[in-house]
Homo-oligomer: A and B are copies of this chain.
Amino acid sequence: MINQHQNLATVVNTTQGSYPVIVGRDVVDDLGLELNNIRLNGRAFLVADEVMFPNPIRRVQEALERGGYATHVLALEIGEVNKNLETVQIVYDWLADLRVERGDIIVAMGGGVTGDLVGFVAATWLRGIAVVHVPTSLAAMVDSSIGGKTGVNIPNGKNLIGAFHQPKLVLQDIGHLKSLPAREMSAGWAEAVKHGLILDANLLDTFERLAPQMKALEGDEPVAAIRRSVAIKAEIVSADEFETGDRRVLLNYGHTIGHAIEKVSGYGTYLHGEAVAIGMMAAAVISERLDMINNELLDRQRRVLESYDLPTSAIGLNIDEIIDATKSDKKSRGGTIRWVLLEGPGQATTRTDVPEEIVREAVQSIRA
């Protein structure tokens, strides 16, 4: 069904069908043709973060129209502060006004928040219609655009509301990264490096050796590394679509403490990827204290993260607050924390028996 394709990074296999992830330069111009290839009909409804406005959005619209799709565009400000049901309602109203039907297509263009929110709209409009992701941030490319997780916040918590809704296609144009702020690029590299740390020692080597080229987005290596990082995410999602097994949880390396740092510091102080970088340091310290890895790998992880301008410690953390926050993590089961830890480069595992004093030591170690 899915053709060989020079820009094809991977195919994700799910209970809702298989879908290609295309990663390359200028691939956005082929969006309409790619939708033809996977035999989608209907009209296209492009919902874009207006930070992209107007030229990149216009370019996507034209690509859709070249594929023969009647296209409507809604550009709106989408950020963590309005990633909520009120914004969802605004998109619902737009879809209702245009009488969007089951055979139509929603295209989500923007960063991770856009993909989460627009994906949720697509998951719940007429009980689910086709969605295509065009992620424009590095974090969305290597992480959130793949795997069908959608979500919005309610006052009580982040991403408490959502659905699993797999896209029909994910199209990632490296060109979109050129306008991304440096801090957001670094936050994206954190997730990509994470994939190397937990599952692919070769990818970790590449990120370590080629940091300058990666950061400059020059040559073929960054594209290849993003494709590989995407493929790792896809492999995990294909093996454990609903996070019910032992596989998908590995992607949460650095996230238990990372989420706690975001929560305690007030969301917005750290970008998600920055908090995850610090959280990975804490997780590596725990791994080292439990004799699962040696001190050398701990230092190596720190150097790699720092070479992508990521923080590896945080100022003024309150240890008790951080530990409390880890206990209310969404992934907890019956109050037990499932720690994702390292056993070696490219090798992660889970443990539920981490003594609280070792967690305290680890949190202590990441206080700047």
Contacts and interface: CB of A to CB of B under 8 A. Distances in A.
A156 B90 CA distance: 12
A101 B15 contact: no
A106 to B, nearest CB: 14
A334 B157 CA distance: 39
Contact of A103 (B97, B103, B126, B334): B334
A127 B151 contact: yes
A99 interface: yes
A321 interface: no
A124 B161 contact: yes
Contact of A163 (B99, B128, B333): B128
Contacts of A96: 154, 156-157, 160
A108 interface: no
Interface string A341-359: 0000000000000000000
A160 B92 contact: yes
A260 to B, nearest CB: 16
A149 interface: yes
Contact of A334 (B15, B101, B149, B328): B101
Copies of this chain, tallied across the complex: 2
A93 interface: yes
B328 A99 contact: yes
Contacts of A334: 101, 103
A332 interface: yes
Interface string A140-174: 00000000011100101100111110000000000
Contact of A126 (B15, B160, B328): B160
A171 to B, nearest CB: 24
Given A97-B156, A99-B328, A163-B163, 5 more contacts: A96-B154, A124-B163, A127-B149, A127-B163, A128-B163
25 contacts: A15-B16, A85-B89, A92-B154, A92-B156, A92-B160, A93-B156, A96-B154, A96-B156, A96-B157, A96-B160, A99-B328, A102-B330, A102-B333, A103-B334, A124-B162, A125-B160, A125-B161, A126-B162, A127-B150, A127-B151, A127-B162, A127-B163, A128-B164, A128-B242, A163-B163
